[in-house]
């Protein structure tokens, strides 16, 4: 059963293989859907924006990407939930998908990053099936452009469409377009492309275990991330405290 955190229903997943098997099941059934990768930022966005919260709650899976989410879920009684870090899940799915013949399409980021990422995939996962990739413009898409993007994705016959537009844009785009797919699961992977391309470095294991990965990312990208982390982390602590004490309810 999903665990409700500030009104957002976060999937109760016990391991990366658990998440992968659910994705594989969706592929076998040839359904069209989307997966959100959730952390403190996306949950706070859900508190601020009811429509965005509904997007998270209607997703095929809402991965508990941020360790604070799994910690709060355990405090609420969900003892078996584990953190599913989006970039790691991305790489494990590329690895495990080789034997299952999964076809991948990459949508988002810059052309330079996509080229670096595709080279890394070829080196690390030589049997991964790449159905296509595209770097869309850094602005609102026109209706004509969007129709072409979906047409190209459908023509690729991809099983998994990895979307790297950044939150909340990627989740909104997936929600508005997943029903237009002939088949396939859209996965909002955020900075996953940058991690695999080598643009962003993984935090040391001790920082991950201490829920300090946000700090490691902040050190790497201070100008872009300082405001987000200052505001969202503070609000998350305040809201979770109020929720756990029963002083405020955050409806789903």
Q: Are residues 141 and 61 in the same domain?
A: yes
Same domain, 224 and 143: no
Q: Give the range of the structural domain holding residue 163, as residue numbers without chain letter.
A: 29-190
User: Is position 24 within any domain?
Assistant: no
Query: What pLDDT is stored for residue 122 in this prediction?
Result: 97
Whether 36 and 80 map to the same domain: the answer is: yes
Q: Based on the domain organization, do 111 and 235 belong to the same domain?
A: no
In the block, residue with structure tokens 């997936």: 174
Higher pLDDT, 230 or 90: 90
Tell whether 232 and 109 lie within a shared domain.
Answer: no
Q: Are residues 175 and 215 in the same domain?
A: no
Would you state the pLDDT for residue 35?
97
Whether 3 is in a domain gets the answer no
**Same-domain status, 98 and 182:** yes
Specify if 68 maps to a domain.
yes
Q: What is the pLDDT of residues 62-118, one digit of tens each?
A: 999 988 999 999 999 888 899 999 999 999 999 999 999 999 999 999 999 999 999
pLDDT in tens, 27-54: 767 789 999 999 999 999 999 999 999 9
143-191 pLDDT, tens per residue?
A: 999 999 999 999 999 999 999 999 999 999 999 999 999 999 999 998 8
Structure confidence at residue 227 as a pLDDT band (50, 70, 90): confident
Answer whether 171's CB lies under 8 Å from 42's CB.
Answer: yes
What per-residue confidence (pLDDT) applies to 205? 82
- CA nearest to 38, candidates 217, 187, 197: 187
- Total domains in the chain come to 2
172 and 218 within one domain: no
Q: How confident is the model at residue 218 (pLDDT cuts 50, 70, 90)?
A: confident
Mean pLDDT of the chain: 93
Q: Do residue 46 and residue 134 come from a single domain? A: yes
The rounded distance, in Å, linking the Cα atoms of 35 and 195 is: 19
Q: Report pLDDT for 252.
A: 62
Mean per-residue pLDDT, 187-216: 86
Which CATH number is 121's domain given?
3.40.50
Residue 248: inside a domain? no
């Amino acid at each position: 059963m999903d665990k409700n955190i500030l009104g957002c229903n976060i999937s109760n997943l016990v391991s990366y293989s658990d998440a992968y098997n659910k994705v594989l099941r969706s592929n076998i059934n040839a359904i069209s859907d989307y997966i959100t990768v959730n952390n403190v930022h996306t949950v706070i966005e859900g508190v601020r924006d009811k429509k965005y919260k509904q997007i998270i709650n209607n997703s095929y899976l809402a991965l508990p990407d941020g360790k604070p989410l799994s910690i709060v879920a355990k405090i609420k009684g969900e003892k078996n939930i584990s953190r599913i870090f989006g970039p790691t899940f991305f790489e494990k799915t590329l690895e495990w998908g080789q034997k299952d013949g999964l076809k991948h399409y990459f949508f988002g980021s810059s052309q330079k990053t996509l080229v670096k990422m595709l080279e890394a995939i070829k080196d690390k996962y030589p049997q991964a099936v790449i159905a296509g990739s595209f770097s869309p413009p850094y602005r609102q898409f026109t209706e004509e452009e969007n129709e072409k993007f979906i047409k190209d994705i459908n023509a690729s016959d991809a099983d998994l469409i990895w979307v790297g537009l950044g939150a909340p844009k990627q989740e909104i785009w997936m929600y508005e377009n997943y029903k237009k797919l002939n088949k396939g699961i859209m996965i909002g992977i955020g900075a996953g492309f940058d991690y695999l391309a080598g643009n962003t470095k993984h935090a040391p294991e001790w920082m991950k275990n201490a829920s300090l990965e946000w700090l490691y990312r902040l050190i790497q990208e201070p100008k872009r991330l300082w405001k987000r982390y200052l505001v969202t982390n503070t609000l998350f602590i305040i809201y979770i405290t109020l929720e756990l004490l029963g002083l405020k309810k955050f409806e789903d």
